[in-house]
Amino acid sequence: MDTQHTQNPQDKQKPQESQDIPETGDSRASDARPVLEAPDIARVLTRIAHEIVERAKGAEDVVLLGIPTRGVFLGRRLAEKLAEITGRTVPVGSLDITMYRDDLRMHPPRALARTEIPGDGIDGRLVVLVDDVLFSGRTIRAALDALNDIGRPRAVQLAVLVDRGHRELPIRADYVGKNLPTSLRETVKVLLAEEDGRDTVLLGVKQNP
């Protein structure tokens, strides 16, 4: 499986996109191959929303908390879809985990993102954490610590757009948009319209530093 993704990208799915892919720290435009396009992302979010309703038996006490940056946008989109399905508004917020990271001492401190807990809090609710990529699991560990300081949810579940594997902690997602077996030499970059101007998930090869 891995070798399939480490190979060079095929060109058939790259019309003129290589020009407008933003340069980011961990994926280079030339090597990045889209694995999910906008319609796919919309579809998997709809599926996840239905799964949440099914598992939470109506999603009555669900609170969605997105992890900045892109988890927040995904959380809001999920909330919209949940509202369409259930006819109720589902509280949605954001949870910045920066100050709970275990690698703080390995990098300069980063600017903090917004933590916004919906008005009624999370006590006794079913919190669904939403993130774009599930990788080592350390972000989610930090998020669980952060939740601990904010309240006591009835249960916590995890929804991710992409699970790329390589867990370093015993954490798994409850709702997965796409399982994407990767090698550690690869990068997964999620672009969302709210932040990047378009929806796509790119698989690239890490450049040598």
Q: x/- site string to other proteins, residues 149 to 188, per CB under 8 A?
A: xxx-----------------------------------x-
Phi and psi torsions of 116, nearest 5°: -135, 110
CB of 55 to other proteins, least distance (A): 25
Closest CA to 190 of 182, 201, 198: 201
Which residue's CB is nearer to other proteins, number 139 or number 200? 139
How far is residue 22's CA from residue 197's CA, in Å, rounded to a whole number? Answer: 10
| DSSP codes, 3-58 | HHHHSPPPGGG-SSHHHHSPP-SS--GGG-EEEEEHHHHHHHHHHHHHHHHHHTTS
C-beta separation of 159 from 182 below 8 A: no
| DSSP codes, 138-150 | HHHHHHHHHHHHH
Q: Is 12 in the site for other proteins (CB under 8 A)?
A: no
Identified binder of other proteins from the candidate list 9, 41, 63, 139, rule CB under 8 A: 139
CB of 25 to other proteins, least distance (A): 5
CB of 123 to other proteins, least distance (A): 10
**Interaction with other proteins in 77-106: which residues (CB under 8 A)?**
96, 99-100, 104-106
CB of 54 to other proteins, least distance (A): 28
Give SS3 for 203: strand
Identified binder of other proteins from the candidate list 18, 24, 46, 183, rule CB under 8 A: 24
Token reading at 205: 């090869």
Residues of this chain that bind other proteins (CB under 8 A): 24-26, 67, 96, 99-100, 104-115, 131, 133, 135, 138-139, 145, 149-151, 187
